[in-house]
Structure 1
Amino acid sequence: MNLALLFEEDFTRPDQVRLTGRRRDHLATIVKAGEGDSILVGKVDGLIGVGKVLQQTASYIDLEVAFNQPPPNALPLTLILAMPRPKMLRRVLQTCATLGVKDIWLINAYKVEKSFWQTPLLEDAGIRADLTLGLEQARDTVMPEVHIRKRFKPFVEDELPGLLAGRQALVAHPGTSTPCPMQLREPAALCIGPEGGFIPYEVDKLVSAGCQAVHLGARILRVETAVPVLVSRLFDACQ
């Protein structure tokens, strides 16, 4: 945790917060912050600043906080991702938040197992928890938006064309003839399939909606590997 991300419910006064649970434990046992020490903090969807430890007990830490720095720039990328396995979903969401992806769409596909959609990780609290871990890692505060669409065809036909407007639209698909572009200077939308990839029908529908099919070379990557590789290829995610 390189930054303690603060939510409205953490504030006891406009300039003070009380942290419990995971964040309290991390500051006490990993950071080893004591009374009078300062740590980096950030208000969700707001500024970054400094928190001074006022009091520490076995169950909470009180901080006096002040904010004066903007968060890192977001990537101009809309990520459209076929729903991965739940364990992989957690890692992918954390990675996206760390890299600065703010617009994430989880969609259905033929090779997505129906049971994946039943995971409690898709509940608001589960999604927020994983995105928070990614933001804390990157010293960012702006919470990504995650949209869930469980029907492929209605999404691609009714919503996707609008999402692609004004963006370079790509679908990552092994075996195509066009390599993935690098270091874009314009907003983009990127579609990534499930383990096993999109089926030809799905690729055709995505192309008809305005996407260009591209590849990363001869190697076939897991989704959790393909996401950071593709994002970093399209944009400098470490600026």
Structure 2
Amino acid sequence: MNLILFAAHELDGHQQLSLSDERYQHIRHVHRSQPGDTVRLGMINGLMATGTIINIDEHSVQLCVLNTEPPPPKLPLRIILALPRPKMIRRIFRSIAELGVSELIIINSYKVEKSFWQSPAISEANVQGYLLDGLQQAKDTVLPKVSFYKRFKPFVEDELPKLCADTKKLIAHPDTGEACPLAINCPTTLAIGPEGGFTPYEVDKFLAAGFSGIHLGPRILKVENAVTVLTAKLFN
């Protein structure tokens, strides 16, 4: 953890924080901290801070929280992503948070197996855990907005136009459109398909909604790698 996150309700009226869970274990056994040492803290969806250790023992650590500062800014990027395989979800969601993506929309696609939607990997608690892992790695505090749409056609026809209004609209798909542009650094909505890509029908639906096709060249990347590479190229 490069940043230890806490919820607002965990902070008492004296700006002190007591931890006895895995965050305490990290401070004690990874940081090997002692009273008087400082650690980097962050309030979830709030400010970053410095925590000075008041006391640490066999069971818990008490910290005084001070010197608050804003977290790094989010990228003006919304990613629309076909639901990945459950075994990939943790890595992808963590990367989304690490990269500073503002919003993630998970959608259905013809090549997404129906069973994926019943996976415990996309439970609210697990999703938040993956995102928090990414935030703590990247020294950020603000969770990206995440939403799920199980029906493709109603999403692209009814929801998509208002969601992506006033943004640059891109769909990443092999052999579609132009090479991925570099450093556009403007509000962007980026659609990425499942393993095997969107179907021609699905690509056409995005193009009809005003999206422009982009690709990453002749190599076909796994979804988790495509998310990282596309984000890095579009925002650097």
Question: What TM bracket, shorter-length normalisation?
Answer: over 0.9
The CA RMSD measured in Å over matched residues stands at 1.2
What is the CA–CA distance in structure 2 between the aligned matches of 1:87 and 1:9, rounded to whole Å? 32
Matched residue count: 236
Alignment correspondent of 1:183:
183
Alignment correspondent of 1:24:
24
Q: Which amino acid in 2 is paired with 1:58?
A: E
What is the CA–CA distance in structure 2 between the aligned matches of 1:135 and 1:5, rounded to whole Å? 8
Alignment correspondent of 1:84:
84
Matches within 5 A, 1:147-166: 147-166=147-166
What is the CA–CA distance in structure 1 between the aligned matches of 2:67 and 2:108, rounded to whole Å? 40
Post-superposition CA distance 1:43-99 (Å, at most 9, x none):
111111100111223332211101421110110001000000112111011111011
Matches within 5 A, 1:166-177: 166-177=166-177
Q: Which moved more, 1:95-104 or 1:120-129?
A: 120-129
- Return the TM-score normalized by structure 1: 0.95
Q: Does the aligned pair in 2 maintain the 1:42–1:67 contact within 8 Å?
A: no
Residue 216 (structure 1) shift: 0.5
Residue 187 (structure 1) shift: 0.6
Identical-residue share of aligned pairs (%): 47
What is the CA–CA distance in structure 1 between the aligned matches of 2:67 and 2:209, rounded to whole Å? 43
Alignment correspondent of 1:55:
55
Alignment CA distance shift 1:147-1:67 (3 Å): farther
Answering whether residue 148 of structure 2 is matched by residue 121 of structure 1, we say no
Q: Does the aligned pair in 1 maintain the 2:76–2:185 contact within 8 Å?
A: no
Residue 35 (structure 1) shift: 1.6
Answering whether residue 204 of structure 2 is matched by residue 212 of structure 1, we say no
What is the CA–CA distance in structure 2 between the aligned matches of 1:115 and 1:59, rounded to whole Å? 41
What is the CA–CA distance in structure 2 between the aligned matches of 1:99 and 1:227, rounded to whole Å? 10
What is the CA–CA distance in structure 2 between the aligned matches of 1:177 and 1:203, rounded to whole Å? 11
Residue 10 (structure 1) shift: 2.2
Q: Which amino acid in 2 is paired with 1:68?
A: T
The runs of at least 4 aligned residues of structure 1 exceeding 6 Å deviation read none
Gap runs ≥5 in structure 1: none
